[in-house]
Amino acid sequence: KEKKILTLAGDGIGPEVMEQALHVLDWVQENSDLSFSVEKDLVGGASIDANGVPLTQEVIAKAKAADAVLFGSVGGPKWDKVGFDKRPEVGIIGLRKELGLFANLRSAIVFDSLIGASTVKPEVIQGLDLMIVRESTGGVYFGEPRGIETLPDGTRKGVNTEVYTSVEIERIARVAFELARQRQNRVCSVEKCNVMESGLLWKEVVTELHQKEYSDVELSHMLADNCAMQLVRNPKQFDTILTGNLFGDILSDLAAMLTGSLGMLPSATLGSRQANGVIPALYEPIHGSAPDIAGQGKANPLAQILSLAMMLRYSFDQQAISEKVVHACEAVLNQGLRTPDIMSDGMKLVGTEDMGKAVLVE
Amino acid sequence: KEKKILTLAGDGIGPEVMEQALHVLDWVQENSDLSFSVEKDLVGGASIDANGVPLTQEVIAKAKAADAVLFGSVGGPKWDKVGFDKRPEVGIIGLRKELGLFANLRSAIVFDSLIGASTVKPEVIQGLDLMIVRESTGGVYFGEPRGIETLPDGTRKGVNTEVYTSVEIERIARVAFELARQRQNRVCSVEKCNVMESGLLWKEVVTELHQKEYSDVELSHMLADNCAMQLVRNPKQFDTILTGNLFGDILSDLAAMLTGSLGMLPSATLGSRQANGVIPALYEPIHGSAPDIAGQGKANPLAQILSLAMMLRYSFDQQAISEKVVHACEAVLNQGLRTPDIMSDGMKLVGTEDMGKAVLVE
Ligand SMILES: CC(C)[C@H](C(=O)O)[C@@H](O)C(=O)O
Ligand SMILES: CC(C)[C@H](C(=O)O)[C@@H](O)C(=O)O
């Protein structure tokens, strides 16, 4: 049966890297009995330019009707002045919310052939494979009240609210425990419970769920500031990190940079299974829209291609073909091909298109 | 004129490292015409054990009356169950608030002799000298409403509030701009304005103040997630980082760990000049109470001693003697003495006391 994919390439390097991912998708179709219908639409700044808003109702409806969304990246200086409610980032934040994509899975994996690209010593990161399970429809990203008000004396006041309910915490903790069971069976839950009551509740709910249903999984707790330190000191101590929206945003970017290859890292954001059996899912690179190199054919398409591989695995249950794509990516690295972000001595510098095409050759 | 110092050693390794700092203070008195009266009191868990609360009104009064507070560290598993309002951390958070210590200055400096102790490659951090100016009496640490409530259906809800006013933002930005002028004249202001309105206000106020009064300083803006990445990718790009309480907590710990020597890093927290001319100030190591090694004579006392050096400089205007203490610390490193946290091949392993005593020898 044909699977419906909605692609939202977005801004900056998004369209360039998406193009390469779609070539890989063609190759997947030619070399398997899978078939896909691909619909393309706009999001972020590109949608602002065309429609005046970063995320249209039509795109939301299409995303809901699709079996999976393949997302690029949004944002750029061009839209710095559009106003808070219409900023390009609403494209991705709004999709997460509208589709109920509460579980943002971000893995930081070190590719052996790229180990030198990291600023961290090889022995510290060799073989690193950690998974960050970030809650992505709650916390300070969505909490009310929020906004800026001017007080009678002219002072301005900016407010945001961090809110987590036990239901939200339990739901995301469950995802982390389930994933950990398929990994090294260790979850480290991260909050700032020595300062924030919302973090205290987080810790309590995770502890309760663990005792009730997941006591076979090893559970530890860590403060967010300490976690940032420990990621630098010894990232291999972690298997699965479970955390909220804001801490997850920061810690997953930090973890990604440890690998030295942000251009290589995909992510998946998943919701709850729907009545029709579909689990809403969006796949996107961890890197942003990189406006500084957009349109120059320099961007690394591998994170977008690996996002496609994640889609094949998680949304379409195609373990084998997904691994084929991952291996094809590793193979081009082993051949010595490098985009500028991962370039090192003795390697062959290539652009987005050449990198993407090389992945096609089996 | 005699200067009044209040020492609050706190918990864990706090008392051990404080003892060494006080030896250095004796040495300072013997080798200069400065004189100090030192009063000692309890804070954190130690105060809970003695007084039932982590910070007594008496200690607050003493801190207000002192010319400077030298602080150790608070917290430990022993007090895990005391309840949120009485936890040891209230000792430090409460002091910041009660004394109006809004400017937490945390520098991350790499000591050449310790460069190998970092997990980051030497070329990335050699000569690193960055300063994080963290707001420390506002944000989500103090914002109301806060707490945990149980809804009618049994769901629990944890809430915290991130609040910043233009007055608070301007005040801390001023500190960063002033400090930058004495450094490399570059400020990078960090928030999450693509998600949080409080961050948007932060960016606006910093930009306005810069245009009005500090346009000679180079100003840039960065999102907190990107800043975490950039600190790993190329920390030397930063001179002075200006940020809020929560981001500052995480980013300063991350920056500290890049240096490989958390046991080496002091911090100062300053308020506004009082009617009597005194600027309220608290000096403390960046490291925590390290309960796992407490009482074993293993802790590195240098961060506490360097906190004393900062006190001599910032509160007592003793640049020369402050530098003498800093150089004495560097000298013991150059002699090859190392506590376990900074131990490496070929160096001489020593304990807290031997390290502290070695600093005394001129
Ligand atoms: C684009 C931005 C709103 C987004 C976020 O903060 O979640 C991004 O940083 C991410 O991590 O996906
Ligand atoms: C002890 C704790 C409350 C404190 C904080 O979060 O501010 C500490 O982490 C710090 O950075 O000084």
Query: What pLDDT is recorded for position A360?
Result: 79
Cβ B160 vs Cβ A162: under 8 Å: yes
Omega within 30 of 0 (cis) for the link into B145: yes
How remote is the CA of residue B99 from the centroid of ligand 2, in Å?
16
What proportions of chain A, in percent to the nearest 5, are helix, strand and coil? 45, 20, 30
Residue with the two structure tokens 């560097």: B330
Query: What pLDDT is recorded for position B6?
Result: 98
Beta-sheet pairing, A68-73 with B3-10? unpaired
Kindly state the average pLDDT of the residues A18-44.
95
**B201–A158: do the CB atoms touch at under 8 Å?**
yes
Query: What pLDDT is recorded for position B1?
Result: 82
Query: What pLDDT is recorded for position B360?
Result: 79
Radius of gyration from C-alpha coordinates of chain B: 20
State pTM to two decimals.
0.96
Q: Which residue positions in chain B have pLDDT lower than 50?
A: none
From the CB of B92, is ligand 2 less than 6 Å away? yes
How far apart are the C-alpha atoms of B353 and A144, rounded to whole Å? Answer: 52
Residues of A with catalytic function: 141, 192, 225, 249, 253
Would you place residue A272 in the very low, low, confident or very high pLDDT band (cuts 50, 70, 90)? Answer: very high
Written as six digits, the tokens of B324 are 């003498």
Query: What pLDDT is recorded for position B362?
Result: 60
Torsions phi, psi for B149 (to 5 deg): -125, 155
Dump pLDDT digits (tens) for B183-239.
999 999 999 999 999 999 999 999 999 999 999 999 999 999 999 999 999 999 999
Dump pLDDT digits (tens) for A95-131.
999 999 999 999 999 999 999 999 999 999 999 999 9
Residue with the two structure tokens 């149980």: B150
> DSSP code of B354?
H
Which pairs with CB-CB distance under 8 Å and at least 24 residues apart come from B153-157? B155/A165, B155/A166, B155/A167, B156/A165, B156/A166, B156/A201, B156/A205, B157/A163, B157/A164, B157/A165, B157/A166, B157/A201
Cβ B273 vs Cβ B235: under 8 Å: no
Give B30's contacts (C-beta < 8 A, 6+ positions apart).
Answer: none
Residue in B closest to A161 by C-alpha: B161
**Closest residue to atom 1 of ligand 2, CA basis:** B89
**B194–A89: do the CB atoms touch at under 8 Å?**
yes
Cβ-based burial of B260 (10 A; exposed 0-12, middle 13-18, buried ≥19) = buried
Beta-sheet pairing, B156-165 with A156-165? antiparallel
| Closest to B267 measured CA to CA, from B175, B133, B119, B357 | B133
In this complex, the residue of A195, A197, A231 whose CB is nearest that of residue B148 is A197
Dump pLDDT digits (tens) for A343-359.
999 999 999 999 999 99
> What SS3 class is residue A210?
helix
Residue in B closest to A226 by C-alpha: B253
> DSSP code of B236?
G
**B232–A195: do the CB atoms touch at under 8 Å?**
no
**DSSP for A252-289, written as a single string:** HHHHHHHTT-GGG-EEEEE-PPPTTS---EEEEESS--
Written as six digits, the tokens of B244 are 């809020």
**Using a CB-CB distance cutoff of 8 angstroms, which residues of chain A are in contact with residue B228?**
228, 250-251, 253-254, 257
Strand partners, B283: B70, B268
pLDDT of residue A362 exceeding 80: no
Cβ A135 vs Cβ A269: under 8 Å: no
Separation of CA A301 from chain center: 15
Query: What pLDDT is recorded for position B261?
Result: 84
Residue with the two structure tokens 């050693």: B9
**A257–B229: do the CB atoms touch at under 8 Å?**
yes
Q: Is B106 annotated as a binding residue?
A: yes
How far apart are the C-alpha atoms of A204 and A226, rounded to whole Å? Answer: 19
Residue with the two structure tokens 């779609």: A22
How remote is the CA of residue B191 from the centroid of ligand 1, in Å?
13
Dump pLDDT digits (tens) for A191-212.
999 999 999 999 999 999 999 9
Centre a 10 Å sphere on the Cβ of residue B58 and count the other Cβ atoms it contains.
Answer: 12
Q: Residue B91 carries which side chain, given as an amino acid letter?
A: G
Give the CA angle between residues B258, B182, B264 to the nearest 5°.
30
Most ligand 2 atoms within 8 A of CB, residue of B55, B74, B80, B92 to mutate: B92
Largest CA distance in chain A: 68
Ligand index nearest the alpha carbon of residue B135: 2
Query: What pLDDT is recorded for position B28?
Result: 94
| Closest to B161 measured CA to CA, from A147, A151, A165, A245 | A147
pLDDT of residue A261 exceeding 90: no
Q: Residue A345 carries which side chain, given as an amino acid letter?
A: D
Query: What pLDDT is recorded for position A361?
Result: 66
Domains of chain B, earliest start first: 1-114+261-362 (3.40.718.10), 138-258 (3.40.50.2300)
